Structures are given as structure tokens and as C-alpha cells.
A and B are shown apart, each in its own frame.
Chain A
Amino acid sequence: DGGITQSPKYLFRKEGQNVTLSCEQNLNHDAMYWYRQDPGQGLRLIYYSQIVNDFQKGDIAEGYSVSREKKESFPLTVTSAQKNPTAFYLCASSSILVTSGSYEQYFGPGTRLTVT
């Protein structure tokens, strides 16, 4: 089955520790995205990547880092510099070919990170 996987579903860390969230897709999509969702709120873009070895900051990149060494993978590291890291993190991907039409994004199931 084609899709996006995120692991783990729940993650617990102590304050001051870096933590890496996994995102893998087998949809052959060029673009991948990381969003943060806080309770009762919409989605905010953290980072995105449209091609391997290249990525851009989104609206709330401070305290986060990413890498894009393979087309299929886009891990997100939440660093100790992120002041309020407890949130629900969503990964997404999309095709950016003109022929694909509408550039809709497909989302993974999310990782709920709790930092205490």
C-alpha cells in the first residue's frame, strides 16, 4: 500500500533532550512537509522540502531542524531550543509535477510528542 508512515505514534522526552521524528513515504512524491498542530488550533508549517538535499523554513522553524538525504525520508529533529515542543506533529507529501494537477498533500497519521 502506498502512503506515509510516521513513527512512533506517541513519544515522551525529558526537557533538554533532542528528539527525532520519522517520516517515510512510498508515493514517489518530490515534496515533503512538516506541520505542528496544537490543541484546538490549525496547522502551522515548520519546514518543507521540494527536492533531495534542499529544504526551506516554514512559518515556525525556530528550534527545529530537518534533513532530506533520500526522496522517501524527511526526519524532523525537535531540539532543546524549542521552547514549547509538546504538540501533535504531522508529516505530508505531494507531487509537484505540473501534470499532477492540483498539488494536494497527503498526510501521515501523526506523532504526539510530550516533553516534561
Chain B
Amino acid sequence: GDSVTQMEGPVTLSEEAFLTINCTYTATGYPSLFWYVQYPGEGLQLLLKATKADDKGSNKGFEATYRKETTSFHLEKGSVQVSDSAVYFCALSAPSNDYKLSFGAGTTVTVRA
């Protein structure tokens, strides 16, 4: 079945450091790919998305490119801030799975001043 594997955390960085969170997927057909962010005590917010190969999603300085050849959707940000401290979830949605979201386990990121 469809699945997502993302880099285990926790990840601790200093402010202005470069952030990468790896995400790979397994799916039949052509899934859509998403990154969600969850701040403490809150629900999930959609951070960015990509719907086809080579699409780049971007938002708030974060970027991720849909790589079909490597089945990956790695999240990157060039210069993190303390406010980026959160849990990040990679997810996919595919017609083969009734368009339900399959989530990775989440990666906790802590940015120190």
C-alpha cells in the first residue's frame, strides 16, 4: 500500500542554519505530495504541496520538489528561525487509496537562538 518514510528526529538547529528533512514515498500511480506543520498544542497546517513530477512547492521560505525518479519530496529551508520550531509531517494522497492521506511519523525540529 501507499506509505511515507521521513527522517527521524528530533532535529536541533541554531538560528539561520540550513534545514533539510528527508521524505520518500511508495505509491501506485501518481500521488500528490504534501508537507504539514504542527505547532505545539495545535492542529496541522498545510505548509506546501506538489501534484506532479518536478513540481516545486514553496511557502514561508520552505521548498520541496516532487522527484519521481527518486520517489522523494525533501523539505528545505535556507535560514531557519526560532519560530520554525514545530513538528513537520510529510504526506501523500493517491486515487489508489481513496485520496486518504498517508502520513510519515513526523519530525520534531527545534531551533535555538
Chain B interface (Cβ within 8 Å of chain A)? Answer: 32, 34, 36, 41-46, 49, 51, 89, 93, 98-101, 103-106
Give the contacting residue for B32; candidates A33, A41, A102, A112; CB below 8 A: A102
- Does A74 sit within 8 A of B, measured CB to CB? no
- Does A103 sit within 8 A of B, measured CB to CB? yes
Q: How far is the CA of A42 from the CA of B101 in the complex (A)?
A: 12
For residue B42, which residue of chain A has the nearest CB? A109
**Interface 1/0 per residue, A38-56 and B, CB below 8 Å:** 0001110100101000000
Which residue of B36, B49, B99 has the most chain A CB atoms within 10 A of its CB atom? Answer: B99
Could you tell me if A103 and B44 are in contact, using CB atoms closer than 8 angstroms? Answer: no
Q: Which of A76-116 contact B (CB under 8 A)?
A: 90, 92, 94, 96, 101-110, 112
Chain A interface (Cβ within 8 Å of chain B)? Answer: 4, 6, 31, 33, 41-43, 45, 48, 50, 58, 90, 92, 94, 96, 101-110, 112
Could you tell me if A42 and B104 are in contact, using CB atoms closer than 8 angstroms? Answer: yes
Could you tell me if A42 and B99 are in contact, using CB atoms closer than 8 angstroms? Answer: no
- Contact A107:B45 (CB < 8 A) given known A43-B89, A102-B32: yes
- Contact A107:B51 (CB < 8 A) given known A42-B103, A43-B103, A102-B32: no
Q: How far is the CA of A110 from the CA of B103 in the complex (A)?
A: 17
Could you tell me if A104 and B93 are in contact, using CB atoms closer than 8 angstroms? Answer: yes
Give the contacting residue for A42; candidates B89, B93, B98, B100; CB below 8 A: B89
Q: Which residues of B contact A58 (CB under 8 A)?
A: 100
- Contact A101:B43 (CB < 8 A) given known A42-B105, A96-B99: no
- Contact A102:B43 (CB < 8 A) given known A41-B105, A94-B99, A96-B99: no
- Contact A109:B43 (CB < 8 A) given known A42-B89, A102-B51, A103-B99: yes
- Contact A106:B46 (CB < 8 A) given known A43-B89, A94-B99, A96-B99: yes
